[in-house]
Chain A
Amino acid sequence: MRPDTHRLNVGAVAAAPINLLGSLIEVPLKAIQRVVGIRGMPYVFLVPNLGFFGIFVVVPLFINFAFSLTGGTNLFLSDRVYTGAEQYEFLLDCENFTDSGSCREDRFWRGIFNTTVFVFFQVGFLVLFSLVTALILNREIRGRGFFRAVYFFPVLLSPVVVALIWKWILLRDGILNAFLVTIGLEKILFFVSPQWAMFWAIFVSIWAHMGFYTLILLAGLQAIPPDLYEAAEMDGTSKERIFWRITLPLLWPNMLVVIVLALIKGVQIFDEVYVLTGGGPGTATQFIVQYIYNTGFTNQVQNFGLASAASVILGVVLFALTLMQLAAVRRKDSA
């Protein structure tokens, strides 16, 4: 029951306008190639993307940096007051960096602390569950396609919807508490306890993103040549040994992709948790991006300068993290 024939029809219908588009662009690009030659063509191919990138990412990044050196509440850079590094000094003004309470801007530091805790557990368990799920889905089981779809499904939901779905379940009078009461337990106020709130923030973000990482790992598992396993089995190698000596090392490149992506996305966590817990209780699940958003946007005095300074610091940290990971990859590759 290959659906290939069906897919071909769809493809044929879609192909007509796409082909037309290709032919339309072909004419000017041929002319350009005549002028710049093959050596010039990579730049031609890069220009549209980098152009948009420059306008909508690079320019804003520069504006953002400029903002971080100014104060006041005016929106246009030309109206803002130059303050030098004051915003940075304000953020970094701490008596003791291990105690957010001693910092002038305690919420910034609590945001950093919370984000660190979140990323540590979220990435750890995300990788673990993705790996277990991928291993199970790689087995010879009935309805594998169905189960694969089941785990992937939440990836398609928007963060707001993900958070609303779970909030609706976890409310005091929600269905989870109804279940607890039915089996004879007390209701739990999940969003009042810092530990529970953090737990659910981590749980829900794993729920939402696990499917994507599972698929990446599954692809890696399926790329492992079967004869390796056969040879190992013939040697009578134990299953555990096969896992540690063959499966895991060969899966490592995919694992790295998963870890890098999960780390980056983890540090950026915002909308899901913002809708789910609102950052509470207190500031227990208020993460760094939410701090930036609140400072620059939701406060009555929209403090773009301070928010930009915090985002520059965040950017520097993220960049350093990624460089470190890339270095790790390089070493692994050359080894």
Chain B
Amino acid sequence: MPDAYASSSSRRTVAGLLTARRGRGGRLHWTDIFSYAYLGLGVVLMFGPAVWLILSSFKTASGLLEFPPTLLPLGQIEVNVEGYEKPLPLYSVTEEDGTVRELAQVRRIGIIAQMVDPSDPGVTIKVPIGQREAVREFRVAWENYTAPLQRFNFLTYLKNSVVVTLAATIVTLLINSMAAYGLAIYEFKGRNAVMLFVIGTLMIPITVILVPVYLVVTELGMINSLWGVILPGAATPTGVFLLRQYMLTIPKDLIEAARMDKASEWVIYWRVVMPLATPAIAVLAIFSIMWRWNDFLWPLIVLNRSEVYTLQVGLNAFQGELDVQWHFVLAMTVVTLIPVVLVFAFLQRFITTGIASTGMK
């Protein structure tokens, strides 16, 4: 398999239009400038939205409603004023003569705010609300995270999600790779029919057979059981297809040699073919983990008891009938993102080279 980092000589020679930099060490060709501009724009376009989501998730509910939105989460400063029980919000007030001073607001009636100077709390000042502006400071609304997480049984959901993700991935890898092995290594009657069948089912979106699958799962008594989430999606056609294509590239001689050594078919599969197929297996593992971790619609139907909720179901529970609480939605979205980002950060190199090297021919 070609590797991007194979050798400097191959890097130099994979030349041609849009394939390498011209004039090594010399001035930049327009295609170089275009490439870097494209990539720079790509970084903004790909990462920017996610970064904005994370920044927004730390804003208060009222902070989220502001327009134009502030880049960083801000909160209004509150001050303790003598004679008032609760801390009062601080405003900067522009007076008739143009001077600006900071006053604390006691209450607001209609378009007039009653304010006091924190240093001279005895006198109440009446200010039209158009002349005051909240004084704000950088403040992170941790409560967006802590409030829902305390309300929910977060650890249970996390445990269920991990169990579902791991179990489903193991089952998927095992049965998919066995099937792929069967389809790639042997010549047998009906092989083409099975392949056609696999490709055919590649095209069925689960959404359109939701109710029939639910009926099957009900008959098997797997409602409100994690198995009801793990098993239905285990036999992925994508996985069989991907692994089979990769296994086709494994030299048949290796298998013949193993058979000469009287190795059983299982041993050939397990000890000869599987190690060679590691890159493709890794790719499928990562996709399986992502699919299962992100799965929402199906668990929502199968699981209706809180002790078996997965994170995606549990964290969406605050989506009410009449009120989308954006501050919670954003914060909980970030929570479900964390494992994805972690997997990505540690495995990104492995993922990207893995997919590249599966060839997909």
Contact = CB atoms under 8 A, between A and B. Distances in A.
Q: Is there any pair of Cβ atoms, one from A and one from B, under 8 angstroms apart in the complex?
A: yes
Interface of A: 3, 7, 21-22, 25-26, 29-30, 33, 38-39, 41-46, 48-53, 55-57, 59-61, 63-64, 67, 75-77, 132-133, 135-136, 138-141, 144-145, 147-161, 164-166, 168-169, 173-175, 177-178, 181-182, 207, 212, 215-216, 218-224, 226-227, 229-230, 232-233, 239-240, 242-243, 246-247, 253-254, 257, 264, 267-268, 270-271, 289, 292-293, 296-297, 304, 307-308, 310-311, 314-315, 318-319, 322, 326
Interface in B33-63: 35-36, 38-39, 42-43, 45-47, 49-50, 52-53, 56
22 contacts: A45-B269, A52-B175, A53-B201, A56-B235, A76-B215, A132-B38, A138-B18, A141-B36, A144-B4, A159-B294, A161-B294, A165-B53, A173-B66, A175-B52, A219-B356, A222-B2, A230-B13, A230-B15, A239-B16, A270-B207, A271-B207, A318-B203
Interface residues of B, number: 108
Contact of B19 (A135, A151, A178): A135
Contacts of B337: 157, 161
> Which of B35, B67, B312, B356 has the largest number of chain A CB atoms within 10 A?
B356
B290 A63 contact: no
A38 B260 CA distance: 13
B46 A154 contact: yes
Contacts of A253: 361
B349 A139 contact: no
B355 A147 contact: no
A303 B208 CA distance: 13
B213 interface: yes
Given A57-B204, A138-B19, A149-B352, A178 B69 contact: yes
Nearest to A253: B361
Interface stretch (B86-94, B124-132, B133-141, B178-186): B178-186
Contact of B312 (A52, A158, A215): A158
A60 B183 contact: no
Interface stretch (B72-80, B106-114, B340-348): B340-348
Contacts, number: 315
Contacts of A38: 259, 265
Interface in B122-173: none
B266 interface: yes
Contacts of B26: none
A156 to B, nearest CB: 5
B297 interface: yes
B360 A257 contact: yes
A112 B66 CA distance: 39
B264 A46 contact: no
Contacts of B360: 216, 219-220, 254, 257
Contacts of A246: 16
A49 B179 contact: yes
Contacts of B20: 139-140
A45 B210 contact: no
B215 A75 contact: yes
Given A161-B337, A293-B207, A307-B208, A150 B43 contact: yes
A243 B209 contact: no
A207 B178 CA distance: 34
B65 A223 contact: no
B14 A226 contact: yes
B68 A182 contact: yes
A61 B18 contact: no
B277 interface: no
Contact of B17 (A178, A223, A242): A242
A149 B343 CA distance: 12
B248 interface: no
Nearest to B290: A156
A60 B216 contact: yes
B11 interface: yes
Given A46-B183, A55-B216, A232-B16, A207 B46 contact: yes
B209 A311 contact: yes
Nearest to A2: B5
A243 B329 CA distance: 47
B317 interface: no
A322 B199 contact: yes
Contact of A139 (B35, B186, B231, B296): B35
A139 B18 contact: yes
B176 interface: yes
A231 to B, nearest CB: 11
A297 B295 CA distance: 18
B79 to A, nearest CB: 29
B174 interface: yes
B56 A168 contact: yes
A36 B118 CA distance: 91
A136 B38 contact: yes
A326 B199 contact: yes
A289 to B, nearest CB: 5
Interface string B291-331: 00111110000000000000010000000000000100110
A314 B207 CA distance: 12
B333 interface: yes
